Structure 1
Amino acid sequence: MDNMMNEEEDENDLYSNDTTAAQALDGKDIQGIPWDVLSITRENYRKNRLQSYKNFENIPNSGQASGKDCTNSEKGSSFYMFKKNFRSVKSTIPHFQLRDLVWATSNHDVYLMSHYSITHWSSLTRSVNEVLNLAGHVAPSEEHPGSLLEGFTKPQGTTLAVKYGMVVAGGLSGELICKHLDRPGVSFCYRITCEGKAITKAVDIHKSSSGALHFMASSNDCGVRNFDMERYQLVHHFHYPWPVNRSSVSPDGKLVAIVGDDPDGLLVDSNNGETVGKLNGHLDYSFASAWHPNGVTFATGNQDKTCRVWDVRNLSESVAVLKGNLGAIRSIRFSSDGQYMAMSEPADFVHIYDTNTGYSKKQEIDFFGEISGISFSPDTESLFIGIWDRSYGSLMEYTRASVAGSAL
């Protein structure tokens, strides 16, 4: 995309480059790409992308081999309708395999990583505000036992979670940084390990089985660490045979889905880390997982281009196997009412499935650019998609079809 197009717009007039639902209905490209003056049509460019995009695989040919047992899902549904594309909001990706960098806390409040800044975007006020600047020196303003009081210098944020009024960011060198949204300064800094390549791969803010607020960090050092967020104390440290890329806690806080640098994933007990069941079926490394609100169903996303849906009551086979178009499934989200599951590929495609139909009906959102993250709003009204592209990077907002008429 960057090589194909020139910067024809004035960077100082970004708001005028946003695309509204009304403009899209009138024929304007949702990203503002001027196909009518380019030397290639959208259809031909899409065809070229599908043929030339190279999916990253740790296990060769995993994407080609994974298609044989996929669920037959019917395209064409419109669960969420395009509302607006905000070209003024720039979302970036520090690590190409880690894409949980967009979080909605309401149907108009979104938090995202933008270069060395954690930023807040309000679609109501159309304003971007910096929540935390990571470009300089980051140190805690509060003293907690175990906090790294000297902090970090220019940590490169690789993963992000925003929930329950808290922000937790992970870094490329094993950093963990915690902040209250309603307080100035940083509350807690922690380095997972001083070993080389100790990337913090994912963070998950959740309620424990007792109702206490915790966060869980997954690391390239094969560890999963669970912290109490009231006192910022390390409660559990579990160790596995391979680097952990994502750990997701069940809604009741009792189970954890763990995936990483191994085709097989694990379902473990959150209190002791012991294996409850194994997840067999993926053909490559997994980087995404998420739980359905019912606490029975969860999903995992893999570099073999598939998302597998599981039922904790029977892990012998997947409930559904959902295939992407271009590449790995790098982010998965369920709506809070459980009706929809969204999964994103590395670029160009976000797929939304109706869980009530057994994942047999889906909507395919089609655009151009690397995807930094996806997030449903807590009330399920909105879906936000972060796009990282030098010329057409943006934040896209979709509105649930049942309320689309009042949102245009």
Structure 2
Amino acid sequence: MAQRGEIHGLADDYEMNDAEDDMDEEFHGRGGDSESDVEEFMDDSVTDTSSSEARKGKDIQGIPWNRLSITRDKYRQTRLEQYKNYENVPNSGEDSEKECKSTRKGGAYYEFWRNTRSVKSTILHFQLRNLVWATSKHDVYLMSHYSVIHWSALTCEKSEVLDVSGHVAPCEKHPGNLLEGFSKTQVSTLSVKDKLLVAGGFQGELICKYLDRPGISFCCRTTHDENAITNALEIYNSPSGALHFIASNNDCGVRDLDMEKFQISKHLRYPWPVNHTSPSPDGKLIVVVGDNPEGILVDAQTGKTIQTLCGHFDYSFASAWNPDGRTFATGNQDKTCRVWDVRNLSKSIAVLRGNLGAIRSIRFSSDGRFMAMAEPADFVHIFDVGSGYEQQQELDFFGEISGMSFSPDTEALFVGVWDRTYGSLLQYNRRRNYSHLDSLL
């Protein structure tokens, strides 16, 4: 991945023309990390948006377009024309376009439910966007500056789960536990599953907390390498059923930690920084992608490469398995997501393209019916897997995407939006057809 760098705000990602300068003056949604920039439109009239309000015409993010000098459609067009996609390999976005699969838009799988302005979803590194996790249709965990926040979609209340702004130290004794802990950790990536929360930092820090226990259970520094960013974390169950997680680091290492023993069980090394790693549903295979256009599928037990994944034109930062265990997807800075079938890995079975930029996050619903892919900003695409990825629903909003997560029961999809003024948490609910109940009315 690129060196540390700072997060790019919206204004940094493209050159503004005069019309955009006007927009910037009135629509203060350009990025930045200060919540003090509550300007003229952040008044009491700008509140959360409910589904009923959206159906009546209110902007889902509460942006007062009628008070701005530019329309939503015009601003969208400007963004599409001017947004600058970050590339490590020049022209990778253009080179990938000829292979892309055409898809039909207009799917209606999830419908807007609520936009919560009080939940400020933030990011620290412009390439790492896995900072939102849902453990149920009511429970969401996300990064907000130096805090991990829990949001209850049921009670509409938020609470702080972990504060890393000061000193964090473990309260349990385990071999290898870094008892002195860490100070002012800059969290680059997050993973939450069931009752386990793991936060990874810019200096290779790992902080493990069980949500049903007080305090921190385990802290360690995976590496003292100068370029030690924790790029991704994935919690999973090993073939034996034990709880594990995989950490992908910029020091070219992949480390598998056994959370029953609090020990590193495997340490795999590669010739390039690893940006994301995904274990298969049965825990026997691992997809590894990073600072190389080619990804790899490896044997989880031996670490040996089973197949090189050829097709992408740039570096990849996302991967995910379909729960069926037969297909998986990789997301790349060439603006595409490729879908692969383990039964024939000579080429990808689908190449799906975004609108603005890199595919930085991919999630499958637990029933395997849908795959969501998130761009760096403005768009999340939900594909109907059963249609062969030929049909999709496009979620359209404004702001950098900090992460997204389906709830385990597939009933909700949460999207974190990072923006100086309009940062929030978007909730979409699964559309259901209850026509069979009409006979009862």
Match of 1:339 in 2: 369
1:144-293 equivalences in 2 (<5 Å): 144-293=174-323
> C-alpha distance in 2, partners of 1:403/1:149?
53
Match of 1:300 in 2: 330
1:46 matches 2:71 = no
> C-alpha distance in 1, partners of 2:434/2:198?
32
How many Å apart are 1:381 and its aligned residue? 0.5
Partner SS state of residue 57, structure 1? coil
Match of 1:114 in 2: 144
> C-alpha distance in 1, partners of 2:41/2:309?
48
Match of 1:91 in 2: 121
> C-alpha distance in 1, partners of 2:186/2:215?
18
The counterpart of 1:383, out of the listed 401, 407, 413, is 413
How many Å apart are 1:37 and its aligned residue? 1.1
CA contact (8 A) 1:9 1:17 kept: no
> C-alpha distance in 1, partners of 2:204/2:224?
8
Match of 1:72 in 2: 102
CA contact (8 A) 1:381 1:403 kept: no
Residues 188-222 of structure 1, C-alpha deviation per residue, up to 9 Å, x if partnerless?
11101111121010011000011111011000000
Match of 1:330 in 2: 360
CA contact (8 A) 1:81 1:404 kept: no
Partner SS state of residue 432, structure 2? helix
> C-alpha distance in 2, partners of 1:277/1:126?
46
Identity %: 64
1:62 matches 2:97 = no
> C-alpha distance in 2, partners of 1:94/1:129?
21
Partner SS state of residue 392, structure 1? coil
Count the aligned residue pairs.
404
Match of 1:131 in 2: 161
Match of 1:8 in 2: 40
**Amino acid across the alignment from 2:78:** N
**Amino acid across the alignment from 1:86:** T
The counterpart of 2:56, out of the listed 22, 26, 36, is 26
Match of 2:172 in 1: 142
TM-align CA RMSD = 1.5
> C-alpha distance in 1, partners of 2:423/2:431?
25
How many Å apart are 1:70 and its aligned residue? 0.7
How many Å apart are 1:8 and its aligned residue? 2.9
How many Å apart are 1:404 and its aligned residue? 9.5
> C-alpha distance in 2, partners of 1:109/1:19?
19
> C-alpha distance in 2, partners of 1:403/1:127?
30
> C-alpha distance in 1, partners of 2:434/2:339?
29
> C-alpha distance in 2, partners of 1:392/1:269?
43
The TM-score normalised by the length of structure 2 is 0.90
How many Å apart are 1:312 and its aligned residue? 0.8
How many Å apart are 1:319 and its aligned residue? 1.1
> C-alpha distance in 2, partners of 1:386/1:8?
23
Partner SS state of residue 402, structure 1? coil
How many Å apart are 1:164 and its aligned residue? 2.5
The counterpart of 1:316, out of the listed 316, 332, 346, is 346
Structure 1 runs of 4+ aligned residues shifted over 4 Å read 403-406
Residues 223-268 of structure 1, C-alpha deviation per residue, up to 9 Å, x if partnerless?
0000100111110000001000000000000000000000000000
**Amino acid across the alignment from 1:154:** K
**Amino acid across the alignment from 1:8:** E
How many Å apart are 1:9 and its aligned residue? 4.2
1:355-370 equivalences in 2 (<5 Å): 355-370=385-400
Residues 341-388 of structure 1, C-alpha deviation per residue, up to 9 Å, x if partnerless?
000000000000000000000000100000000100000000000000
How many Å apart are 1:125 and its aligned residue? 1.2
The TM-score normalised by the length of structure 1 is 0.97
> C-alpha distance in 2, partners of 1:135/1:60?
37
Judge which range, 369-378 or 191-200, deviates more.
191-200
> C-alpha distance in 2, partners of 1:117/1:271?
35
Partner SS state of residue 379, structure 1? coil
How many Å apart are 1:403 and its aligned residue? 6.7
Gaps of 5+ in 1: none
**Amino acid across the alignment from 1:214:** H
> C-alpha distance in 2, partners of 1:372/1:231?
32
Cα 1:384–1:403 change in 2 (3 A) is: farther
> C-alpha distance in 2, partners of 1:258/1:193?
19
Match of 2:36 in 1: none
Gaps of 5+ in 2: 1-9, 12-23, 29-38
CA contact (8 A) 2:42 2:421 kept: no
Partner SS state of residue 98, structure 2? helix
> C-alpha distance in 1, partners of 2:42/2:85?
33
1:394 matches 2:424 = yes
CA contact (8 A) 2:143 2:149 kept: yes
**Amino acid across the alignment from 1:83:** W
